[in-house]
Amino acid sequence: MRVSNKILFFVLDGASDRPVGKSTPLQSAITPNLDKLADTGISGIMDTIAPGIRPGSDTAHLSLLGYDPYKYYTGRGPFEAAGVGIDVKAGDVAFRCNFATLKDGLIVDRRAGRIRETTELAHSISEGVDVGTDFIFKESTGHRAAMVLRGEDLSADVTSNDPKKENKPMKEFHAISSKAEKTAKILNDFLAQSIDILESHPVNQERSSAGMPPANVILLRGAGLVPAIIPFEEKYGLKSAVVAAAGLVIGIGKMCGMEHVSFDGGTGGVDSDVVGKVRTAIKALEDHDFVLVNIKGADEAGHDGEFEKKRDFLSRIDEAFSEVLDLKDTMVVVTADHSTPVSIKDHTADPVPIMINGDGVRVDNVHAYNEIDAANGGLNRLRGMDIMHILMDLINRAEKFGA
Ligand code: ZN
Ligand code: ZN
């Protein structure tokens, strides 16, 4: 009997939905390849966190990888920081940041006119700010950035300076607990010094004279203490990689010790090069045992409330799956991290379809890949935290519990 020894794990971000009229976007999409995988595989539905809990992409991905999000999710900051390439360490306090525009004490633009190039600004902050504690500040795409504080007696129990809405006064950082007073002071120092540097920065003077909003302040939010995570390879004995365009998913992979395999053409939107991404993932299987692939576009279409856009993107994903059909010795998993119904324009707790195709699975009577058919499958209804155990069993790497 053949046993698959590799795992190719696809997360079609937010692909799962509710019916609009008679069918969901997945049911309406043209998906011969995914249907063939379902036909020769085993299907089910899955609550990525727990029934009725609306997952974020971050908490859902942690759960799918077998890391209890209630234990390891300490806020968005740590995963964003890891995603932009900061080598975060357990005990760091991390934030996601925006370059924004401050005028007369008010935040007049939370994205600083969607500034594109912030490398020089970030560099000047890294060089010029001194708050008596080590910090790493790094720009990301567009107006985004991340920051990590590293040292003794730091805490993530601090408020944000982000008023969340435009034309509201910028806030100060405050300690929520007494152990965070030092951190709040460091952040207020950081803020004052960075404003000084940004105000007079040539990049901003140029922007102002061109009539563009200057990126003269940093908004920091999503504070989180970087958790101590057992690396994926240590946990499962599988050499792993992540293929994704979304910084948050890359960050989760990196924090779990996965290698980030990048490729050109990933945008995180519906214009992403899905064929290229799937090929990159298949190639990564040559020297990894486990490859996580996140394909983001369907989530974007769901948030936009656009049924046809979501359906058509799912059809495009299916075309890329033609090369997955011929894989040997590989467990192929296709699921989603949560539902993003076009009728709701946000994540919901509706369970997602999951399908496993590979050697030894008990092929069931499901012939199509979608939310409704999957509910009749042999996997029945699982939780996200179960899936790695099931896969380890299928590839014959699970240990026996008891004699
Ligand atoms: Zn998601
Ligand atoms: Zn989303």
Residues bordering ligand 1, an ion, CB closer than 5 Å:
13-14, 57, 299, 337
Instruction: Please report the pLDDT score of residue 264 as a whole number.
Output: 82
Query: Angle at which helices 181-199 and 119-128 pack, to 10 degrees?
Result: 120
Could you tell me if 33 and 334 are in contact, meaning their C-beta atoms sit under 8 angstroms apart?
Answer: no
Which ligand has the nearest atom to the CA of 13? 1
Residue 263 has pLDDT above 90, yes or no: no
57-79 per-position pLDDT tens digit: 999 999 999 999 999 999 999 99
Mean pLDDT of 201-212: 96
Taking the centre of ligand 1 as the mean of its atom positions, its distance from the CA of residue 306, in whole angstroms, is 16
Q: Which residues in 99-124 are b (16+ Cβ under 10 Å) and which e? A: bbbbeeeebebbbbbebeebeebbeb
Q: Which pair of structure tokens corresponds to residue 12?
A: 């079609």
Residue 212, token pair as written in the block: 């563009």
Give the Å distance between the CA of 299 and the centre of ligand 2: 5
Q: Quote the DSSP letter at residue 359.
A: T
Decide the pairing of beta strands 217-225 and 93-103.
antiparallel
Closest ligand to residue 299's CA = 2
Single-letter amino acid code for the residue at 146: A
Q: What is the pLDDT of residues 241-261, one digit of tens each?
A: 999 988 899 999 999 999 999
pLDDT tens figures, 155-173: 999 999 999 999 999 999 9
Using CA atoms, how far apart are residues 224 and 204, in angstroms rounded to an integer?
A: 30
Mean pLDDT (the chain) is 96
Quick one: which ligand is closest to 345's CA?
Answer: 2
Q: How far is the CA of 246 from the centre of ligand 2 (A)?
A: 11
**Protein residues near ligand 2, an ion, with CB under 5 A:** 299
Task: Return the ligand number nearest the Cα of 337.
Answer: 1
From the CA of 12, how far away is ligand 2's center (Å)?
11
Run of H or E residues at 34 = helix 32-39
1 pLDDT higher than 90? no
Residue type, 371: E
Reported confidence tier of residue 292, pLDDT bands at 50, 70, 90: very high
- What SS3 class is residue 62? helix
What are the tokens at 341?
Answer: 């119904």
What secondary structure does DSSP assign to 238-250, as a single string? --EEEE-S-HHHH
Predicted pLDDT of residue 266: 67
Nearest ligand by distance to the CA of 304: 2
